[in-house]
Structure formats: structure tokens, C-alpha cells
Structure 1
């Protein structure tokens, strides 16, 4: 028996919010890169640091001992207590901290708990494309503020002009994907003044907070007066402990905001993986004072910058994160996507066209993004493939 698939015109109408979702061009590019046999310096899947062995051993024990069930929807109590001790500001783990299914769910929960359809949300451009996706699902309207290379700073007048009576939230990311820009306390205080003036929430993605370099200090939105009481801070074990497949993220906010976040979290994923949460808590990795991924990542950053500079593309070393945003306009007249495809074809090295991180994917950004959270073996292979230049 065969089944006839009806043409799209005869299918029930899909939700209009889908029209606002980004095209997922980065995921498509990574798929193509695998088909081309290209060395992946595009995706941020960690090759460094290596996952802590204690966490892996604890997960095996949990599963072998029959631990297969749900966890408290707010998150394992011991895990929350350990996370609270690591944060650089006081947190009540009982009422202010929630474990989520990765930072992606944390972002969607924060947006759904904050934004109604038609509300405006300020986004700094370039941006991680999931910010736009979460906003589209909530029905919000983006107001873009351009960050200018090479420092990736905002113009204070343009930032102020993006706020108004319909503004409900601003999304920040420090250190940032894709630029590596780390916001200063002065910049956060400037943002706090605008948020207080317009009574706006700040959704602060701080997933890359453990990765800051050259003596730079990460300042959380929750450490800044005027932002602390209105902030929702997103964190994750995905990059800092290289456990991206475990999908353990977390949200921190004041008690009343946390009540809203937990209501949405309960209605969406109910709880993150119980056995893996309990394994992390039992392993003690969050209490290991010697765990310092930034030292290793700084070496990898410098090696990556040197690799591309030697190949003909001078790069500016980022202050944090695990990506280099490189300006290709000085070495080629090609648009960024053509450059990326030709680099993959000629040298079998894959990076990301910068247009993936801007609102208009059809316009040329003049930049590419390079991931450096890779093993030394991967970077050595990259050096070999680029030995004859770009």
C-alpha cells in the first residue's frame, strides 16, 4: 500500500511565528563541511577543554546503578548549591537558580517568560542566531543595535535610540559569540541606566564567562546595580566543561522572576536529564578550584590567530569566548560566503561566513568566524592545510 503525500497547498497552515525563525544556515554549513571532508574550525563543539574524567566516571556509575529517573523540575538541589558557590555574587540556590535543558532552553524560557507578542527586544548585532529564534517563538519584535568592528562597541546614541515604551527586554552576550567582545562594567552601567529608565529586563547570556584572557575580568549583569534586580543570567556546562551533549544549562534571577521562569520551564521540558545532573553533583567537578579552562583556551586562541595570520589573514585576538571574528575585506574582494566555500574547496578548512550573525543573510559582512576551542591536533592539521596560504 502506498501513501500519497498531499501538496503543500493542501496541508493545514503552519504557525506564523515560523516565518521569523533564522534559516539555520550555520547548521547547514556544518553538514556540507562534513560532506566536503573539511577540517571543522566553524562549529563551537568543544575539542578543548577535555571533559573532566570525574564527571564521565560518575555518569557511568549513576547509570549502571539504575539511576534512570526524573529530577526535581527546578534542578538537583546539590547541583544548584554547587553552582551557586561558583557564581561571583550571592545566590539562593533554592529560590533563584533553575537547571535547564542546556542554555538553548534557558534562552527560550527567559524569552517566553518575559516577552509578549509585539513587545520589542533590543539585540546587539552581530548576534548568536538562537537569540533571533527565541525572540521569534515568543512573538517579539527585534530592535537591532550595530556593533562596530574592530572593537565591536556600540554607539551610545544608537543604543539609547533603540529603547522606547514598547521595549520589554535587551539581550546581551558577554563574552560574545561571534566576536569575543567582553562588556566592561562601564558599558553595563550605561545599559543599566537605559533599563531603569524604560523598566526593561536584561537577558544576559554568560555561557562563555569562564573564558576571558589577557587579564580581562568578566563582569556579570547580576553584579551591576540597576541590572541585578532585573537580570536573567544564562549559564551552561556545555563549553566550560565540554559537556555539550549533556544539555545542562542554568538560569539565575531574583526570586519573583525565577517563579515565572520555572513556570515556563515546567511547561516545556519539565526537567533536564536527572542522571546526568546527579552525576555532575556527585563528581565534584564544580568544586575543583584547579579547573581553569581559560589558560588552555588562551594558548589555543593565540595559536589560531598565528595560524591564520601566517596564512595571510591577520586576526584580532578576542578578549573572551572561543571564536575569532576576522575581517577578510583586506585580503579579498569576494563576499564572505564565497570566501568560505573556496577555502573549504581549496584547503579543506571550514570557517563560518559572518553573514550568519547578521539580520540580513543576503548581505556581505566582510567577516568570517573561526572557532579555536579545538584540540592541538586539530590546529596542527589546520596549520598543515594552510601552510601554502589562504
Structure 2
């Protein structure tokens, strides 16, 4: 090779990795980034504005910082915190061999995928989905195999789920309660999933960050509570939603010991550990003690009020069984699609919701729906109601 050949060999080379190029562009982030969106009443993002973090948590964090807790914690997480998390499950876990504290649920999800996925492996995922799932799958090099959840109950067809499995299926990625639909997977559905995973030798990564929020007569069933899935599951948890601590980045993984050994190796390589003073603050605050924190009643009232507001202007709302989002059908009030409705709602009322096209593998499948977050304060929800009511005086919805 000549000197000229060497100097120009990389001139046309793509500077970024394929995995980075494959990460979706983040439609939700783009959608929420405008100046108009930033001044609106936010019923779009799931960042908790309710419930309010417990006062004792804030006090405990300040105490830990003042006490000089500023250095590394054990990579797997503070031992007392792991013990509290392990005891919070219906089926208790071993804190020493089955629990790992992570930098939020996002790191937990990514660690789980990196631990079991090789590029080209297939992962079964329900559609619609939590938008961060696709980015994590892309970075891991996984190929998603989508299984639709059918409105209005947002259930999967067992035959369609079975058809999604192939010899290349390495895992199933799900969340329950489900973002965005609010479905809580029941025991019959999980047993069906377990049979397929056993047949194909697949694991399940279960994002259960909304486990504290179920409503009416619905009960969250962790995959760790299903005997046939206990050894095949990796449970992702977080305090971000349950305790309104999204900025603390406090998540965890639960898995069988043989999985945990690998998860911890990857966790150490990715982050090295989680903030020591905040881990100890959670322990000392007592919020993880049985019965110490029961926020679901507050959010159920918020859910019902949000449904009342949007049903009142003609949308058909799917009542969620859990989580913090309502999926609302806009077709009764518009000749357009969800983007037209969301844009008009922002323009006329200054209220922000999410057009659901960004939550579906085929955007057209989400044309009929907007996603509305209700983990908001009563004050914020009532301000949204006032704005919408004022806008209705001059805004003929049917012409959107």
C-alpha cells in the first residue's frame, strides 16, 4: 500500500458504530422539545409529579451527605438496601445472590440485554411498547419480533405470540403493568408465556417498574412469582415511579443466582455501582418497610379524573388496570389522526399529550390514540381541565 493509499484509507469510513446508527431517533424526545411544549401543561411525560417523594426520604438523603457518605458503595449495592428490596416481593429473594442495585431501571434493562443477547438474536416484544425498549434492543444488536396487543382490552392473541418464536428467539421483553396501555398481565397469560419460553429455551426480561400501581381489583403478578418462570426471568425494578425518585436513578435487578453472577459482571463494567448516599437514604428512611408507602390510591383518583376530563370532550378512554397512562381513542372527535388532535390540543389549550404513533412498530397502528399521563398533581390536572374547558368555547373539536 502506498503512502497515498494509507492516508486516504479511512476517508469515507462511517465514523459511528452500526449499533449507534440503529438507535431510533427518539420521537418522543423530539416531540416534547419545542418551546410551546415546554410551557404547556404536561400530561405527556411519565416524570412523576405525583405522588410527592416522602419527606423522610429527602431528610435521610441530606443526613447521609452531611455524614460524609461520598465514596463507592459495594458494586452489587448496599447490603441493607438489597435486603429490603428482596423482602418486598411476594416471593422473597436472596439479597446476596439474586438482587443487584442499578443506576435506575434503564441501566438494569440494558445490563439484562447485554448479559444475554448476541447481535442477531431475536427478542419478542409486545406492540405498542415503552419507547426506550427499541433503543436498548438496538444497542444490544437484537432483532425485535413484535406481537400486537389488541384494543380495547390490549390483550395478545396466543397464536400470534406463539408464531413470534423461532429458533433464533433468545428472550422476551415485556413490562407489566404495561406502558403505554396499562394492561396488567394475568397469571393465565404468564403461564402461557412460560410454556413457550420452555419450549424454545428463551428467557424473559420483565420491566416491573409500575408494580406499585394497580387499580380496582387488579393485582400485579411478578414473573418471579410464577414457578415456571422463576429460573427463566430477569426482573427489572425501580424507585423512579413508585417513590417519585426518577432523578435519583435507583433501580434493581432480580434474577436467579446463575443469572445474577453475569448481570453483576456487566453492571460493574457499565457503571461500577450506584450512588452510595442515596442507597443508604432509602434504607434509613424506612419507605421500603411493609405498608410504609401506599401511593396507588392517590393515583387511582388521578386516573379517574383524567378519564373524566377527556371522556368529557368525546375521547374514548381505555381504563388502565395499572401504571400511569391512559390510552385515549381520538376518532370520535376528529377527522384527522392523533397528531392532528395533539397539535390542536397544544395550540388551543396549551395541554400536551403524546401521539401514539411513536409507540407502535407501524406508526399507522397508533394513528387513533394519544397517551395521557396521570401521575400528576391534582393542581396540574385541574389546570389542564380549565384550559381545555376554556378552549372548547372557540375550538370546534370535530373540525380538527
- TM-score, normalised to structure 2, is 0.93
2:247 to 226, 245, 248: 245
**C-alpha distance after superposition, 1:50-98 (max 9, x if no partner):** 1011110000011112211111100000001011111111200001000
- The residue that corresponds to 1:30 in the other structure is 32
Q: Is the 8 A contact 2:37 2:346 kept in 1?
A: no
Distance 2:192 2:316 in 1: 32
1:13 positional shift: 1.8
Answer yes or no: is 1:73 the counterpart of 2:63: no
- The residue that corresponds to 1:176 in the other structure is 178
Distance 2:196 2:275 in 1: 38
**C-alpha distance after superposition, 1:323-342 (max 9, x if no partner):** 00111122212121222112
- The residue that corresponds to 1:144 in the other structure is 146
- The residue that corresponds to 1:19 in the other structure is 21
Q: Is the 8 A contact 1:309 1:315 kept in 2?
A: yes
Answer yes or no: is 1:328 the counterpart of 2:333: no
Aligned pairs (5 A) from 1:24-63:
24-32=26-34, 35=37, 37-63=39-65
Q: Is the 8 A contact 1:36 1:348 kept in 2?
A: no
Check 1:290–1:33 CA distance in 2 against 1; reply closer, same or farther (3 A cut): farther
Check 1:34–1:346 CA distance in 2 against 1; reply closer, same or farther (3 A cut): closer
- The residue that corresponds to 2:124 in the other structure is 122
2:340 to 335, 338, 341: 338
Distance 1:78 1:288 in 2: 15
Answer yes or no: is 1:160 the counterpart of 2:162: yes
- The residue that corresponds to 1:295 in the other structure is 297
Higher radius of gyration, 1 or 2? 2
Q: Is the 8 A contact 2:37 2:352 kept in 1?
A: no
Aligned pairs (5 A) from 1:177-216:
177-216=179-218
Q: Is the 8 A contact 1:192 1:225 kept in 2?
A: no
SS of the counterpart of 1:229? coil
Q: Is the 8 A contact 1:127 1:178 kept in 2?
A: yes
327-336 or 188-197, larger mean C-alpha shift: 327-336
- The residue that corresponds to 1:279 in the other structure is 281
1:384 positional shift: 0.1
1:288 positional shift: 5.2
1:29 positional shift: 2.0
- TM-score, normalised to structure 1, is 0.95
1:378 positional shift: 0.1
Unmatched runs of 5 consecutive residues or more in structure 2: 1-10
- The residue that corresponds to 2:374 in the other structure is 372
Answer yes or no: is 1:90 the counterpart of 2:60: no
- The residue that corresponds to 1:3 in the other structure is none
1:232 positional shift: 0.2
1:150 positional shift: 0.6
- The residue that corresponds to 1:359 in the other structure is 361
Distance 1:92 1:364 in 2: 41
Aligned CA RMSD, in angstroms, stands at: 1.5
1:36 positional shift: 5.6
1:364 positional shift: 4.9
Aligned length: 382
1:33 positional shift: 5.9
1:283 positional shift: 1.2
2:220 to 218, 221, 237: 218
Distance 1:141 1:12 in 2: 22
SS of the counterpart of 1:202? strand
Q: Is the 8 A contact 2:233 2:255 kept in 1?
A: yes
Distance 2:70 2:29 in 1: 31
Distance 1:236 1:295 in 2: 19
Distance 1:138 1:210 in 2: 29
Check 1:33–1:331 CA distance in 2 against 1; reply closer, same or farther (3 A cut): farther
